[in-house]
A and B are shown apart, each in its own frame.
Chain A
Amino acid sequence: MGTAARVGLALVWLYAGASKVGDLAAAGRAVHAYQVMPYELSQVVGAALPFVEITLGLLLLVGVATRLAAGVSAALLVIFIAGIASAWIRGLAIDCGCFGSGGELAAGETPSYAVDIARDVGFLLLAGFLLLWPRTRWSVDSVVNGGEESDG
C-alpha cells in the first residue's frame, strides 16, 4: 500500500511536470490566469514549478527522503486546491493548468473545478499517507536504513 502510494504520487508529479516543461512561457500564462500574483512572479512560478514537480516525482519514485517529498507534495497540493477554489469563488473561467494547457476557457466551455479539486484531494491523501508512514518497500530509504524504523 505504501509503495503503491509512493509510486502513484511519483507518476502524478512526473506527468504533471513533463506536460508543462516543454513550454515554460505557457506554464507562466497558466499561473497568471489565476490572477493572484503580478506577472513577473507568475513567470517565476510557472517556470520553476515543472522542474520542482519532476524532481519530486524522481525523489518519490526511487524513495529518497520520502517524508520530506511527501510533505512538500502535500503543501503544494494544498496550495493548488486553494488556488482552484479561489478561481471558482471569484467566478473565473479558466483551465486549472494542472497537466499542461491552462488559461482562459473558450466561450461555452465550463470549468471543471469540482473534478480538479476532488482529484487533488485524492493526491493529497496519498501524500498524507506517505507523510505518516514514509517507510515503504523497494525504496532507497529502506535499503539505506536496513529495514529499521526511521524518521526520514
Chain B
Amino acid sequence: MGKDRDKRQQAKRAVRALRAQEQRRQRALWTSILAALLLVIAGMIGYGIYLTQRPPAEAAPPPGATADGVGIPVGSGPVTIDVYADFLCPICRQFEENAGETLDKLVAENKATVVYHPVAFLDRYSTTQYSTRSAAASGCAAEAGKFREYAAALFERQPPEGGPGLSNDELIAIGTELGFGDTFSKCVSSGKYRSWTARVTDEATRRGVVGTPTVFVNGQPVSADPQAITAAVNAAQ
C-alpha cells in the first residue's frame, strides 16, 4: 500500500516537473520571439527617423549651380574637374594650399571648369554642425557670385576639429570682407542652403565619394594633388 502511494506521488512530481519545464520553454520561446520582434522594430524606427531627416531631393541650389544642382562651376574650360571637399577637413585645407593655385590657373587659362561640391561629411567633428553651416554659407556666397573667393577664405580660417567652429556671425563677417551685403547675411543666418548642402552630400555618396578631398577629371577619379590633376587635364585635351 505505502509503496503504491510513494510511486503515485513520484509520478505526480515528475509530471509537475515536466509541466514546469514545458512552461519555462514556452516562456523562453515567447521571450525570444518578442526580443527578435523588438530588434526588427528598432531597425525600422531607425530608418523611419532617417527618412524624416533626409533632404528633399529637389532642395533648391543657389543660382549658377550646375544643371544637376549639386555643384558650383567655376570657369568655362572644356575639361571638367570635380572637387569634393568639406570646409572642416584638414586634408582639404592642405589640398587648397597645394592645389588651389593650380586649379585657379587651369580656370584662368580656360583649360578646365572646376565644379566645387561643398559636402558636409564631418558634422560630428564639431559641436555646431560646422560642416553643414559652412557649406550652406558657401551656397550663399555662390548666390553672391563669389563662391571661389569665399571657399578659399573659409579654408584659410579653418577652425580645428572637435570645437564649435566659426559662428554664423564669423561666417557672415568673412562675406562682408568680400563685399557681400545684407542678402548674404540673411542667407547665412537663416541657413537657406542647409538642405541643399545635405543634397550635395547625399549625391556625393551616391557617386561613391566617401572621403574628402576627392577629385575627378572628366569623371575619372584622380589623386588629389596638383601634378596628377594637371596631367589628367592635359591628357584629356
- Taking Cβ atoms with an 8 Å cutoff, the residues of A that contact B are 21-26, 28-30, 32-33, 35, 39, 42-44, 46-52, 54-56, 59, 64-65, 67-69, 72, 94, 100-107, 141, 144-145, 148, 150-152
Contact = CB atoms under 8 A, between A and B. Distances in A.
Given A25-B50, A44-B47, A56 B39 contact: yes
B205 A28 contact: yes
A111 to B, nearest CB: 12
A94 B43 contact: no
Interface stretch (B20-28, B149-157, B167-175): B20-28
Interface residues of B, number: 40
Contacts of B210: 29-30, 32-33, 94, 102-104
Given A55-B38, A65-B31, A65-B35, A107 B91 contact: yes
B160 to A, nearest CB: 16
Contacts of B123: 23, 26
A152 B31 contact: yes
Given A107-B224, A151-B28, A69 B208 contact: no
A68 B34 CA distance: 10
A145 B202 CA distance: 49
Interface of B: 20, 24-25, 27-28, 31-32, 34-36, 38-39, 42-47, 49-51, 53-54, 89-91, 121, 123-124, 198, 201-202, 205-206, 208, 210-211, 214, 223-224
Nearest 9 interchain pairs by C-beta? A104-B211, A47-B50, A48-B43, A51-B46, A65-B35, A152-B28, A33-B210, A55-B42, A51-B42
Given A48-B44, A103-B210, A104-B210, A28 B50 contact: yes
A150 B53 CA distance: 43
Contacts of B208: 32, 35
B31 A64 contact: yes
A150 B121 contact: no
A51 B41 CA distance: 9
A46 B121 CA distance: 14
B124 A23 contact: yes
B208 to A, nearest CB: 7
Nearest to A48: B43
Given A22-B124, A26-B124, A29-B210, A68 B47 contact: no
Contacts of B24: 145, 148, 150
Among B20, B47, B53, B90, find the residue whose CB has the most chain A CB atoms closer than 10 A: B47
